[in-house]
Structure 1
């Protein structure tokens, strides 16, 4: 009787595991973003340490690090992300032979862009002074870091969609690690180059993870995630 009951309830538990986890991440992330936005507005909490972080970033600048930071921040530029998104969408379509994966990627990036614009306009935080900037001056609002938010959503979605079609554990680890390192690197480059405060970048990561949780939950509930691609049988 017990064994039969466990077998009957196990699929039900698995069915709700993703939505529950997604809901927890979404709520926690939303509260975290609200807290960071309040700190950024009042210059207290974590935001009180922003000037110190910026000074520390300036103090470790070197020619090689600056070149790497410029490359990473270039990968997070909107025009570059749009090109990469279109290329990734085309490759996902050819790989999966379905529009589900490209649609998910485009949907996630559209939401990311909307969140970036909306929250920036809502918080209206000023960027660090131009004396810290290594590159063209950006007069837009600082909170959150759009480079960080959009690139994290992009690489996170690409990694997740590719992960779904991979069978090799080392390949999955490599894909996830590459996405994580790119997200971290692009975020840190924004502080290093003087375009953002540290809490702007932290907010970008937090919003991105929260939005990814929403997208994955929606995809799961609507069964939009692509099935793993099976190799064609040999003739």
Structure 2
């Protein structure tokens, strides 16, 4: 297959993909620059005020469970299980496993390094909610974005019925942002921590998938 054989819609997808990567990194860079200058964000104050109005004991229990679905322990165990499942599904092509590992391990290392670089203190320290260490960017936003986002990619690339793809995609999409919101609701992250984490995770995820798709195309 040569370049002339590539459908026109593929070029459209590539343009949209690169636009998402550039936009995600630009938004993250803008927020990161302000964090380095120790500026206060109005959006953080407004969101915290809103959360205080809607916080309830029942809500804390619900979001405590949801936040665990984005913890390092849960994502690590789930990633190992998914890698094993992919090993048996894609026996002839292991590239998806390789790039999945690169995506998960890479975002984990990148998040840890960036947390230490920016050194932003959390709004509150709650060990029971995994709310220790530095705050920016939110690891419960970067990790789930890459893990559950990769699941969405696998669902899209599967042979399942479109209705099932849409259902699973929407559920996983809502889960990603529910985990992020849980960090704000539980008071262990600022809204900008979560938003920056989502943007960074999205840019990293799309980059890994783009290289994966190129590799699979070259192998064909």
Q: Give me the TM-score of the superposition, normalised by structure 1.
A: 0.82
Q: How many residues align?
A: 217
- Alpha-carbon offset, residue 136 of structure 1: 5.3
Q: Which stretch of structure 1 is more off in the superposition, 89-98 or 110-119?
A: 89-98
Q: What is the 5 A alignment of 1:197-216? A: 197-216=190-209
CA shift in 2, pair 1:160/1:83, >3 Å = same
- Alpha-carbon offset, residue 14 of structure 1: 4.2
For 1:55-108, what per-residue CA distance to the aligned partner results, in whole angstroms no more than 9, with x for missing partners?
A: 321221112211111011111110111111111111122223342222222111
Tell me, yes or no, if structure 1 residue 218 matches structure 2 residue 208.
no
Of 36, 40, 65, the residue aligned with 2:31 is 36
Tell me, yes or no, if structure 1 residue 21 matches structure 2 residue 21.
no
Paired residue secondary structure (1:223): helix
- Alpha-carbon offset, residue 12 of structure 1: 5.4
Paired residue secondary structure (2:128): coil
Q: Is the 8 A contact 2:70 2:179 kept in 1?
A: yes
CA shift in 2, pair 1:137/1:72, >3 Å = closer
Tell me, yes or no, if structure 1 residue 93 matches structure 2 residue 51.
no
RMSD over aligned CA atoms reads: 2.5
* Structure of higher CA gyration radius: 1
For 1:106-145, what per-residue CA distance to the aligned partner results, in whole angstroms no more than 9, with x for missing partners?
A: 1110111122112212211111034xx5835734110110
Unmatched runs of 5 consecutive residues or more in structure 1: 1-7, 228-235
- Alpha-carbon offset, residue 160 of structure 1: 0.6
Q: Give me the TM-score of the superposition, normalised by structure 2.
A: 0.88
Query: 2:140: which partner in 1?
Result: 147
C-alpha distance in 1 between matches for 2:7 and 2:218: 19
Paired residue secondary structure (1:126): coil
Q: Which stretch of structure 1 is more off in the superposition, 105-114 or 189-198?
A: 105-114
